[in-house]
Amino acid sequence: MVRLLALAIGLALLMPVHGGWRDAAQFVANAAVFLLFFLNGLRLPRHEVLAGMGNHRLLWPLVGWVYGAMALGGWLVWQGGQGWMPPLLALGFLYLGCLPSTVQSATAYSSLAGGNVAASVVAAALLNILGVFLTAPLFSLLAGSGAASFDASGLLKVVTILLIPFLLGQALQGRLGGWVAGNRQLVTRMDRSSIAIAVYVAFSGAVEQRFWERIDLAGWGWLLGGTALLLVFGHLGAWLVAGSIRLDRPSRITFLFAGAQKSIAMGAPLATVLFPPAAAGIVLLPILLYHLVQLVIAAPIAARLNPPGA
């Protein structure tokens, strides 16, 4: 996934889509997002989600952390960056804070660290289902109408491109679920390709606007510093909150990775729906950097939590 994201960004830098091709590229990106959420609907078993929702001690504090504390953390970085970095870059931190957790990597690292894998799968699924309903309106509410409006047209886009395909996938699980299970590698490639297309189209808009000329040295410093701050806040805060509510160690590990990691799989497609091409690429910079760094630091964290022979 990291290599594919780097390829999408590199391609956008060298050959950005522009002019008359932009509408066609946006249509392809929207179709890829539709496919992505249709596959997510097929892949997330309803019975696992419903059964796991009974783990109230883990799930509801986790929902509060992801859509409450992390959103507030993004809001604070956004506010602190006012006047120090371009408005769209600062807004990207608020957008980052409102996103749900990853699915694959949070579950994988929970497993490596000795966490509760079943709870991790359910938690990631629930957070992403809620993200379809919560991320866009929460972001708009915290940003204010002057920074980001979420009107009827925005709601219609989210429902059409994200919610309808997800519900369609859920409805067709009985018929197509076996095909998805038997073609995991193909589905994974389709999944990741959809994300890469969304990143390419969004980043092309930023390249066309010559984003490097709009972000000065202080802005790049804020991008690095704000990302580091949210990474520390997300990981340390999630670990401490899980301990304060007295979760057992496996569930605490699940809370850590599901609470601190942020999903480019939701972030990139949703950005192409919510923002015009010229803005989406810049808004995505914080989540792109956060996503790459979270994958790098998750491995040593997992190894420390579950050392060999433990």
Q: Is the pLDDT of residue 38 over 90?
A: no
Q: Is the pLDDT of residue 148 over 60?
A: no
Question: Which of 4-18, 149-163, 296-310 comes out lowest in average pLDDT?
Answer: 149-163
> What pLDDT does 118 receive?
72
Q: What is the DSSP letter of 85?
A: B
Q: Pick the residue with more confidence: 152 or 277?
A: 277
Write the CB contacts of 238 (distance below 8 Å, at least 6 apart in sequence): 65, 255, 256, 258, 259, 260
Q: How far apart are CA 218 and CA 224, in angstroms?
A: 10
Q: Is the pLDDT of residue 308 over 60?
A: no
Q: Is the pLDDT of residue 147 over 80?
A: no
> What pLDDT does 17 receive?
74
> What CATH class is the domain 2-305?
mainly alpha
Q: Which of 14, 45, 34 is nearest to 203 (CA)?
A: 14
> What pLDDT does 197 receive?
75
pLDDT tens figures, 61-92: 999 999 999 999 999 999 988 877 888 889 99
Q: Report in angstroms the alpha-carbon separations of 128 from 13, 15, 76, 88, 135.
A: 30, 32, 23, 24, 9
Confidence bin at 156 (pLDDT 50/70/90): low
pLDDT tens figures, 177-232: 777 777 777 767 776 677 677 667 766 766 766 666 667 777 888 889 999 999 99
Write the CB contacts of 196 (distance below 8 Å, at least 6 apart in sequence): 4, 5, 7, 8
**Residue 154: strand, helix, or coil:** helix
* Residues 127 and 62: beta-carbon distance below 8 Å: yes
Q: Is the pLDDT of residue 13 over 80?
A: no
Q: Is the pLDDT of residue 140 over 90?
A: no
Share of the chain above pLDDT 90, in %: 22
Write the CB contacts of 258 (distance below 8 Å, at least 6 apart in sequence): 62, 66, 101, 106, 110, 120, 123, 124, 127, 238
What are the start-end ranges of the H helices in 183-307?
A: 184-208, 211-214, 217-244, 249-260, 264-274, 277-283, 285-305
> What pLDDT does 266 receive?
79
**Residue 54: strand, helix, or coil:** coil
Mean pLDDT of the chain: 80
**Residue 308: strand, helix, or coil:** coil
Q: Report in angstroms the alpha-carbon separations of 111 from 117, 119, 240.
A: 6, 11, 20
